[in-house]
Structure 1
Amino acid sequence: MTTSSTGNRLLRRKEVESRTGKSRSAIYDGIRKGTFPAPVPIGGKSVAWLEEEVESWIANCVAARATQRKQ
């Protein structure tokens, strides 16, 4: 895991899997469908996700659950 100059922490795939409970294939399926944040290239074939975007995705899932319960 690395930190950019703007303070946005970058998460590698294993960390994203751990935080979201999603498998590798589910993450990339979500990216293709536009329902999960896309990674950013960090050099060569390596990619990482912005922690802020992953945390926002998690928060949206929680909010959606709360909305469904109210209906």
Structure 2
Amino acid sequence: MFDSETTRLMPLQEVMKITGIRRATIYKKINEGSFPKAVKLSPTCVRWRSDEIQQWIEELPRH
């Protein structure tokens, strides 16, 4: 469920900064099904839900 107090929509630059992953790798992982899909707000504007990105980070294998 979307909780506006804890979830916000993040632009690609912020997702890249938080994850440490480059643009091309993010889109490659999306196509592979191993990264959260973006929310398309308009033909030229996409955002990622912060809760989905945080969950993805938390589920990464720890070494």
TM-score range, shorter-chain basis?
A: 0.7 to 0.9
**1:1-71 correspondence runs (5 A):** 6-7=3-4, 8-61=7-60, 64-65=61-62
More helix by share: 1
Structure with bigger RCO (C-alpha 8 Å, 6+ apart): 2
**Runs of 4+ residues over 2 Å off in structure 1:** none
- What RMSD, in angstroms, separates the aligned Cα atoms of the two structures? 1.5
**Distance in 1 of aligned mates of 2:56 and 2:29:** 11
Counterpart of 1:22 in 2: which secondary structure?
A: coil
Q: Which runs of 5+ in 1 are unaligned?
A: none
TM-score, scaled relative to structure 1:
0.78
TM-score, scaled relative to structure 2:
0.87
Counterpart of 1:27 in 2: which secondary structure?
A: helix
Identity of aligned residues (%): 33
Q: Which runs of 5+ in 2 are unaligned?
A: none
Structure 1 or 2, whichever has the larger Rg, is 1
